[in-house]
Amino acid sequence: MRSKFLSRINSVMQGKNYAEVMPQFQAVYNVVLGGENLGRMLACKQHKNCNCLEHSIAVAYFSLLIASRFKIKCSRSRLLRGALLHDYHLSDRRGDNGSSFRHGFSHAKAALKNANTEFALDLVEQDAILHHMFPMNPIPPRYKEGVIVCIVDKICAVYEATSARPYRKLLERIYRSTPVL
């Protein structure tokens, strides 16, 4: 039972179900990332070898993949919007005296403020953005979409910190099929 579960998670994280979720992903991705701050997300360093935009794309893609693969009943468009905008803080954490610790506590509020300014967000999307740093921030996400984003964000952060070229194949596929970038 345990090995079946682990192999299922492994196949999800390797992106074998790419074709299954890509149409949903592309529809929301094109709307959200058509915003005016795309260049600022590209310029923000995230974890080691990844920028903020790449990190947000990966969190959104894997959140959708996990929700689809495990048949979690939730709003896919809200999940994607919350995931794509969860780090929409538009600032380089190195500008905060190099303190990523302080950044961990403050960037969710800045991301929510910036996202609300540019996009009309509902409560589920706002919750996913504001509470994605649980348990560092003490209030957990209220909705399934936020819980998924919170968990996938942590997994992606660890992967980005330990990988020389994170998401290379995923980003190549997305950039190839999307005119926005």
Residue 178 corresponds to which tokens in the numbers above? 């999307």
The whole-number average pLDDT for the span 148-159 is: 93
> Residue 79 in 3-state DSSP?
helix
The whole-number average pLDDT for the span 57-86 is: 91
The whole-number average pLDDT for the span 33-57 is: 73
| Half-sphere exposure in the Cβ direction for 137 (13 Å, CA) | 20
Topology annotation, domain 18-177? Hypothetical protein af1432 (1.10.3210)
> Which residues, including other chains, have CB under 8 Å from residue 110's CB and lie 6 or more apart?
89, 90, 91
| Gap between the Cα atoms of 115 and 132, Å rounded | 14
pTM of the full predicted structure? 0.79
Q: Which residue has the tokens 């990523």?
A: 100
Confidence of residue 66 (pLDDT cuts 50, 70, 90): very high
What is the structure's pLDDT at 88?
Answer: 84
* Orientation angle between helical segments 52-69 and 18-32, nearest 10 degrees: 140
User: Are the beta carbons of 46 and 87 closer than 8 angstroms?
Assistant: yes
User: Are the beta carbons of 109 and 152 closer than 8 angstroms?
Assistant: no
Residue 108 corresponds to which tokens in the numbers above? 């969710």
Who wins on pLDDT, 48 or 121? 121
